[in-house]
Amino acid sequence: MVRQRPFASAQGDRDTRQLATTALLPGNALEAESSGGYNAVAMENDNRPQNIYDDPQFFEGYSQMERFQSGWGLAMEHSSFVELVGDVSGRRVLDLGCGAGQLAFYLAEAGAAEVIGIDASERMLDVARAQWTHPRISYRQASMEDAGFPSEAFDLVVSSLALHYVRDYAGLVGRIARWLAPCGLFDDTAATEIYTARGLADGWVIGPEGTRIAWTLDHYADEGPREHRWFVPGVRRYHRTLSTLLNGLIDAGLVLERVMESTPSDAWLRDRQQDADERRRPMFLLVRARKA
Ligand SMILES: C[S@@+](CC[C@H](N)C(=O)[O-])C[C@H]1O[C@@H](n2cnc3c(N)ncnc32)[C@H](O)[C@@H]1O
Give me the pLDDT at residue 6, please.
45
**CA-to-CA distance for 252 and 214, rounded, in angstroms?**
36
- Whole-structure pTM value: 0.88
Ligand 1 pocket, mutate which of 59, 107, 118, 119 (most atoms under 8 A from CB): 119
Q: Whose CA is nearest to atom 13 of ligand 1?
A: 97
Half-sphere exposure of 255 (CA within 13 A, CB side): 7
CA proximity to 78, closest of 88, 87, 68: 68
Closest-lying ligand 1 atom to the alpha carbon of residue 121 = 25
Domains within the chain, CATH numbers bracketed: 48-192+233-291 (3.40.50.150)
Ligand 1 pocket, mutate which of 161, 168, 262 (most atoms under 8 A from CB): 161
How confident is the prediction for the chain on average, in pLDDT?
Answer: 87
Ligand 1 within 6 A of CB of 99:
yes
Ligand 1 within 6 A of CB of 93:
no
DSSP state of 49: P
Mean pLDDT of 168-189: 98
Mean pLDDT of 18-37: 29
Residue 250 reports pLDDT greater than 90: yes
Residue 26 reports pLDDT greater than 90: no
Strand partners for 237: 226
The 3-class secondary structure across 169-232, one letter per residue, is HHHHHHHHHHHEEEEEEEEEEEECHHHHCECCCCCEEECCCCCEEEECECCCCCCEEEEEEECE
Give me the pLDDT at residue 3, please.
43
**CA-to-CA distance for 288 and 187, rounded, in angstroms?**
5
H/E element holding 82? helix 78-85
Mean pLDDT of 278-289: 97
Give the whole-number percent of the chain exceeding pLDDT 90: 80
Please give the full DSSP string across 98-134, using - where no structure is assigned. Answer: -TTSHHHHHHHHTT-SEEEEEES-HHHHHHHHHHS--
Ligand 1 pocket, mutate which of 51, 52, 126, 188 (most atoms under 8 A from CB): 51
Give me the pLDDT at residue 18, please.
28
Q: Whose CA is nearest to atom 9 of ligand 1?
A: 99
Interval between CA 188 and ligand 1 midpoint (Å): 12
Interval between CA 161 and ligand 1 midpoint (Å): 7
Identify the band that residue 12 occupies on the pLDDT scale cut at 50, 70 and 90: very low
